[in-house]
Structure formats: C-alpha cells, structure tokens
C-alpha cells in the first residue's frame, strides 16, 4: 500500500497552493487592475505587492461603492501635519482590493522585521484575503537595512518568530493560511537548514525564488536546490511554489513536473502581458493591443492611480509603436483613451474618473514654495501646535524617516520605501 502524503490542513477561509499558477508579488506591477487582469487570463491566485506593516497600521478600511473595492486609507499629510493648511486634503489609498473579483484568490504580502507590527498590520486585512505571505526575499538595500526582505534570511529565528505569531494570532482566528517567500542561500546545506525551520512554524505554503540575494532578475535562475526544497516541504506537508524565469503556463507545468514542486509563480512575463497564464487551448498569449485595452478599461473601473497605470502601460506597449508615444504624452485617462482611439463609451468613463482623481483638466493648482511657507507661518501663529511632530512639520522642518513612513502618499511611499523602484525600472518585491 502507498502512504498518503502528509499535508498541513488548509484553513476554512484559506487556499491550497498545490496545482496553482500564480501572479508574483511585484512592486507597482501588482496593483489591483494588474491582479484582476491576471485572473481574467487564467491565474489561479494573485499576490499583492509587498506592503510594509507600518504603512498599514493606522489605516481605515473603507468600502468604495463606486469601484466596488475595499480601500485601506489614511489622510496624507503631504509634508505637513496641520490640516488647517489644506482642509480639503484627500486620503491616500495604501492598499486596494476587489472582493467581488479577487475573492479568495488574493494573497497579501507583508514586509516586516517584527512579529508585533506584523500581527497588527495583518489583522487589519486578514478578513479580506485568502492568506498572508511574509516577504523574506527582497534584496534591495532599502528593505534589507530595515531588517526586512532578504535580511530575514540571515536572522532565521526572527523570521520563524514572525511566522509563528502570524499563524497563531492571525491565521488561526481568521482561518486563513500563512506563507513565506524566500530566496535560496549560497549552499544547499544552508538552504536546507533554513527551510526545515520554516516548515515547522505552522505555515501552509513556501515559495522559493531560485536566485540568491545578490542576484538580479537579468541573471538566470538557479534550480539545482529546487528539488531538495520541494522534497522538504512535501515531507512536512507544506505546499512548495517555485519562482524565477517562468515565462508561460506550459513552461510552469513542465517545471513543476520536473522538480516536484506544487505550483509556480510568474513575474516579469506577466507584467508585460498577463495573458501568459492562458492555456494554448484558450488561445495562449494574446496580442498586446487586446491586453492593453483590457488593462486600461480595468484601471478606469477601479479608479487606479494614474501614475501607476501609466507605468504599467510603459511595460506593456512596445516602445516603437505609435501607441507608446500617445500613452507617454497623455496626462489623464481621457487623454489616454483619445490617444489610443478607444471610443466614446470608455471616454465618458475616463472623464468621470479624471474628475474623481483630479487629474488632467481637473487637476487643482499646486501651492508654490512661497505660498506654502506663508501658510506654514500663518498656521503656527494661529494654532501654536503642542505636538512635537506637528511643530516640526508646520515649521517647515523635514520629517524623520520614521515620521514619513507612517503617512506618506502611496506614490511616494512605494518609490522611496522597501520594495520600491526608481523611475520606470521594474523590480520584484521578493
């Protein structure tokens, strides 16, 4: 008789990673419309972009009737703590998800180096997702210097403590799974020791990115440790998902069979064209024109940040095509729809969203440096704030990194914090 392989129990509201082809967590490239498009083209699960625990703590959960999304928001100080300077200040969306379309396919990836803050942040979003994944693979200095990302690979006790806390304080009460995403270490012996510790923490899944911390996406993935990791996970009953240079559904299935993994994750190939998740029988990879139009429509429907939409279109539209020039010149959704010649129905939707987002012809005039300085002085004289943080902000003194981390707008936070990218570059969060 053959014995049944051991399996860690999948919680009631969680999901089994086995047999799944999933969208990788990618900074800027894994926002709501990207995830929805990946699901439309056949992805089984989608990881959101790494979100730092401290950026989530203190947010307010709001159900957005217009977009049918759930938004976690906070008031953006945008350089000042004094709301008297701008009573019409808008709230920044720190994280947005679509329960109706993502449902129980959404995995929230958290950036953390501390069990307590990880639990605080995860508790906020746990009821809305199918799992919480800890990022232990981002190699960028702004993540590792804070002890997050790949730095956790050097502090396995801390990483295990975080995972155990999330399992007991978030996973069990919310009946969802906790997982972790790592990179391979320099030697198979080191990787083996780490993985054995991780699978004993109560997690339901482990994703292994087949690159070491110093390696970059342009360097070919190393798969000589993959089978060993998959075997350890299988013996512990934990699902093993592979990541690194997976370009299509067919390639993913072949690699799963070859190395004995349970699932595979697609990253940069899906960033350029999410239809790579589609089977050949369903048409395979779709023309970029089709995918771009669907992405624009989806971005408008969920009122995606204009800057993020434009960034993704820069990855999806061929640079030498006329559509690329039209996209780069557009300063709003309405201008984009006109430039790409999409028709009146989408144009009306675009115009409405431009008004909501205050972009294009609806953009409000910005205060000059002199005007801000004068407003700061007036506010100080009128209010005489007692809070030390408020005093520094209204006096025009630059905030500390800790202060800024808690309230910076999403555009700034993503481009200056852990897992971020410079300019138009693309990078994986893990």
Residues catalogued as catalytic: 138
d(Cα 281, Cα 291) in Å, to the nearest integer?
A: 18
**Residue at token pair 């205060």:** 367
Bridge pairing between strands 45-47 and 51-52:
unpaired
**Residue at token pair 């640079």:** 319
d(Cα 306, Cα 31) in Å, to the nearest integer?
A: 12
Asked if 56 contacts 94 with a C-beta cutoff of 8 angstroms, the reply is yes
Asked if 340 contacts 296 with a C-beta cutoff of 8 angstroms, the reply is yes
Supply 381's token pair: 């004289």
d(Cα 340, Cα 326) in Å, to the nearest integer?
A: 7
| Phi, psi (degrees; rounded to nearest 5) at 46 | -135, 130
Extended strands (E) in 188-238: 205-209
Supply 308's token pair: 């993020």
Supply 398's token pair: 């630059």
Residues forming a β-bridge with 266? 23
Asked if 422 contacts 415 with a C-beta cutoff of 8 angstroms, the reply is yes
Dihedral sign (CA 308, 312, 318, 322): negative
């Amino acid at each position: 008789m053959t014995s049944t392989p051991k399996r860690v129990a999948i919680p009631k509201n969680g999901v089994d990673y086995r047999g799944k082809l999933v969208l990788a967590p990618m900074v800027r490239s894994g926002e709501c419309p990207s995830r929805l498009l990946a699901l439309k083209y056949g992805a089984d699960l989608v990881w959101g972009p790494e979100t730092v625990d401290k950026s989530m703590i203190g947010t307010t959960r709001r159900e957005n009737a217009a977009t049918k999304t759930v938004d976690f928001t906070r008031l953006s100080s945008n350089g000042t703590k004094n709301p008297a300077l701008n009573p019409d200040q808008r709230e920044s969306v720190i994280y947005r998800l679509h329960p109706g379309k993502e449902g129980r396919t959404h995995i929230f990836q958290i950036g953390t180096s501390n069990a307590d803050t990880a639990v605080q942040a995860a508790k906020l979003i746990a009821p809305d997702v199918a799992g919480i994944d800890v990022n232990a693979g981002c190699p960028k200095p702004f993540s590792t210097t804070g002890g997050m990302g790949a730095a956790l690979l050097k502090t396995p006790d801390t990483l295990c403590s975080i995972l155990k806390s999330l399992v007991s304080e978030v996973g069990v009460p919310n009946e969802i799974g906790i997982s972790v995403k790592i990179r391979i270490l320099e030697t198979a012996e080191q990787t083996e020791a780490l993985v054995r510790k991780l699978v004993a923490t109560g997690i339901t899944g482990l994703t292994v990115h087949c690159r070491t911390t110093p390696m970059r996406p342009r360097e070919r993935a190393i798969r000589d440790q993959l089978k060993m990791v998959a075997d350890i996970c299988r013996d512990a009953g934990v699902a093993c998902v592979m990541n690194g240079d997976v370009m299509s559904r067919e390639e993913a299935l072949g690699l799963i069979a070859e190395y004995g993994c349970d699932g595979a994750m697609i990253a940069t190939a899906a960033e350029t064209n999410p239809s790579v998740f589609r089977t050949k029988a369903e048409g395979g990879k779709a023309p970029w024109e089709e995918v771009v139009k669907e992405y624009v429509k989806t971005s408008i429907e969920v009122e995606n940040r204009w800057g993020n939409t434009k960034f993704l279109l820069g990855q999806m539209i061929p640079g030498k095509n006329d559509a690329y020039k039209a996209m780069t010149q557009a300063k709003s959704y309405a201008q984009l729809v006109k430039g790409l010649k999409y028709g009146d129905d989408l144009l009306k939707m675009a115009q409405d969203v431009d008004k909501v987002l205050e972009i294009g012809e609806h953009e409000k005039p910005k205060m000059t440096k002199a005007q801000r300085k004068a407003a700061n002085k007036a506010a100080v004289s009128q209010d005489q704030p007692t809070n030390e943080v408020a005093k520094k902000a209204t006096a025009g003194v630059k905030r500390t990194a800790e202060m800024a981390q808690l309230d910076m707008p999403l555009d700034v936070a993503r481009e200056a914090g852990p897992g971020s990218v410079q300019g138009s570059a693309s990078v994986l969060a893990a």
